[in-house]
Structure 1
Amino acid sequence: MLAVTGATGQLGRLVIDELLKVVPAAQIVAAVRNVNKAADLAAKGVQVRHADYDAPETLLSAFAGVDKLLLISSSEIGKRAPQHKAAIDAAKAAGVSLLAYTSLLHADISPLMLAEEHLFTEAYINRSGIPAVILRNGWYNENYTVSVASAIEHGAVFGCANDGKLATASRADFAAAAAKVLTQPAQAGKVYELAGDEAFTLSQFADYISAASGKTVVYNNLSESEFIALLEQVGLPAPVAVMLANSESGAAIGGLFDNSKQLSALIGRPTTTIQQSINEAL
């Protein structure tokens, strides 16, 4: 029995799709906060179980009978440590034989503020004694392509990453990797640094949008404080703006770059380029 937390999220749904290619639906558990959002998964024969990180009593029953569990990191930055702790405790109590966790690229040396909660989770998993595999995911192509329309409208990409290289891949690539570790043997103890095969700078990203759209788009590099102010101006909450700007600043010093190509090796194909994702976004 294989279980995926956050199964109705953007990554979780893609992982379920990948698992359904190789695993009978009845052997897949979609652990979700809102079961109503998983009606389509239930219709496919997937077991849908209520699992709320903030309600630990739901987690043990959600993980009952599960052999391998993918713990997709919570989206609630600042609450991840207690939420992940609750999930790990429940996984141990349920007798899960392999726990896979979606961490952050090079979490142990990352300059990104996001690394703190991931490092806590990795350490807690290690102390729990549950056999585990750590998927240190880099940034998604979609983190950038979501702004393609805005970039074309304004003729500019804004950020504070300077010439930092971004080794991104598509969400589907990372989902395929997660499905692989859940379905392949001998994964316990492994730590994967997962990133795209081809890196780019934000200047190149702007150039790629120009080439694909026929509209001139340039990269406008801001200071971290200027970028925070811009993000708040367009409506992002202050903590989110700070986190995103900090991640860009971290990218400027290599925090989102990796050239080991472990992701493509794991999924058995090249990763999706940013140009491909731009074309899909357009």
Structure 2
Amino acid sequence: MTILVTGATGQLGRLVIDSLLERGADPAAIVAGARDIARAADLEARGVRVVELDYDRPETVTAALDGVDRVLLISGSDVGQRVPQHRAVIDAARAAGVSQLVYTSAPKATTSDLVLAPEHKATEELIAASGVPAVILRNNWYTENYAADLARAASTGVLAASVGDGRVASAGRRDFAEAAAVVLQEDGHIGEVYELGGDIAWTYADLAAAISEVVGRPVVYTPLSTEEHAAALEAAGLDAGTIGFVTALDAGIRDGALADTDGTLARLIGRPTTPLVDGLRALA
């Protein structure tokens, strides 16, 4: 069985390959797809086959899928361009007759009001229409997403956001990578849509307390209204588009878009998910 990991030089892709190898996969049976293959030299040194795969160049996607049985489609990072990029992989997977396509989606992608959800919803619809046997991994937030908040709070003692009392069921990126590796290697997952999140859904007051524990100084969560948050971001020099995106994300969190957790991630990986404070400590 040959497994292709797209976006293999990204943070999640590398961890998925690590997890596959740790779980006993033959390096020669792993294909690392990368836009810039020079960045994958370390993977090649471990015996992994490296191929060029650029979502924006469908011919590279088709070539990368040659002889591949299972594919992990890691969602692209170019917000606004994801649907055509993902379509290139889905179309190539259908043409190649792959036995399983695994996609990293967003929480409740088909029903969520989260600003990031529409592109994931559209991708899931493309996968369903393609007829390719698939597994959907709806990943909640990575704790690593809070690296900038950690650094800022370490300096200022303040964590400011417009999420209200919204909760986030984050987990470590490695937790989600392990789940992807499990699904890629095991049978019996085709047709499943897994809502994946950390074991505990925490508030930003909890996040402030965890950051305080990690950095060794008091950190206070300061809740802002959307208008106050937008004004603060504007004062920091952010452009209108970025301000709108950030405040929309916070509004989604406030409304519960990232709050659900039912233990599915922990069950898939066979252990508890990484606690918030441990994930932050690794960042620090």
- Coarse TM-score class (shorter-chain normalised): over 0.9
CA spacing shift, 1:135–1:162, aligned 2, 3 Å = same
Instruction: Return the alpha-carbon distance in structure 2 between the equivalents of residues 144 and 124 of structure 1.
Output: 31
| Mapping 1:1-282, distance limit 5 Å | 1-21=2-22, 22-231=24-233, 233-234=235-236, 238-282=240-284
- The separation in 2 between residues aligned to 1:168 and 1:65, in whole angstroms, is 35
Q: Give 3-state SS (helix, strand or coil) of 2:190's partner.
A: coil
Q: Gaps spanning 5+ residues in structure 2: where?
A: none
Report the Cα offset of residue 155 of structure 1.
1.1
Counterpart-to-counterpart distance in 1, 2:272 and 2:46: 29
Normalising to structure 2: TM-score of the pair? 0.95
Cα contact 1:159–1:221 (8 A) shared by 2: yes
Query: Secondary structure of the equivalent of 2:167?
Result: coil
Q: Count how many residue pairs are aligned between Structure 1 and Structure 2.
A: 282
Which shows bigger deviation, 104-113 or 49-58? 104-113
Residue 158 (structure 1) shift: 1.6
Q: Normalising by structure 1, what TM-score? A: 0.96
CA distance in 2 between counterparts of 1:89 and 1:269 reads 35
Q: Secondary structure, in 3 states, of the residue corresponding to 2:166? A: coil
Q: Which amino acid aligns with 1:166?
A: V
Does structure 1 retain, via aligned residues, the 8 Å contact 2:3–2:70?
Answer: yes
Q: Deviations over 1:155-193 (max 9, x none)?
A: 101211101111000000000000000001011100000
Q: Secondary structure at the match of 1:207?
A: helix
Distance 2:87 2:283 in 1: 36
Distance 1:237 1:159 in 2: 17
Matched AA of 1:7 = A
Superposition RMSD in Å: 1.4
8 Å CA contact retained: 1:71, 1:102: yes
Give unmatched runs, 5+ long, in structure 1.
Answer: none
What's the % identity of the aligned pairs?
Answer: 50
Do 2:196 and 2:261's aligned partners in 1 also have CA atoms closer than 8 Å? Answer: no
